[in-house]
Amino acid sequence: MPKDQPARRPLSIRFFQRDVDVVARNLIGTILLVNGVGGRIVETESYDPSDPASHTFNGQTPRNAVMFGPAGHAYIYRSYGIHWCLNFVCGNASAVLIRALEPLDGIRTMQRRRGTTDIRNLCAGPGRLCQALGLGAKQNGASLYAPPFALYRATEKAALSTGVRIGITKAADLPRRYGLRDSPFLSRRFPVETP
């Protein structure tokens, strides 16, 4: 890490024990590393059991059991039989989907895992992000406060964009997607917001 970067301070142990939308917004700008590889979170989505799009909407099953567990753990599931998606559990069967990172640390490793040198495409999307960070079924249920995970506070106040979530068909109109405004590392751009 370059010398002129601010010191990295771990997230509070209670960071995830709040309303899931508050967590999703406050995660923007924080730094996520897995075995020292990762970067700044620039895009998230929130899900809770009152939401038809949430995995927990229809009650507990073996797949979603972690999401019913304590806050501060990783819920990782397979998507479309091919990809993995990473969520941070926030308690009460709610969780935040991590959709995109701005790559900072271990860029060579992420380029090798992804098979591309394009920095913008290393972690732009939940499936790409998991591939770049080496995440899969092994880390499902793991604590976010122990290796291989490391999470650090945002170093400055993030300017947020809000919009509808991506790739869902149920409750597709809910504005539960959050992003770092104008970041080049989003999975998709947010529509221009009219004040």
* Smallest gap from residue 33 Cβ to DNA (A): 19
* Smallest gap from residue 57 Cβ to DNA (A): 9
Residue 17 burial (10 A CB sphere; 0-12, 13-18, 19+):
middle
List interacting residues with DNA (CB under 7 A): 45, 47, 53-56, 58, 61-64, 67, 75, 78-83, 85, 87, 95, 97, 114, 121, 125-129, 165-170, 187
Which amino acid is located at 191 in the chain?
P
- Nearest to DNA of 96, 180 (CB atom): 96
CA distance linking residue 165 with residue 169, whole number of Å: 10
| The two three-digit tokens of residue 181, written as one number | 């405004």
- Nearest to DNA of 155, 174 (CB atom): 174
151 strand-pairing partners: 32
Closest to 45 in 3D by CA, of 185, 182, 175, 193: 175
- Nearest to DNA of 2, 115 (CB atom): 115
- Nearest to DNA of 5, 169 (CB atom): 169
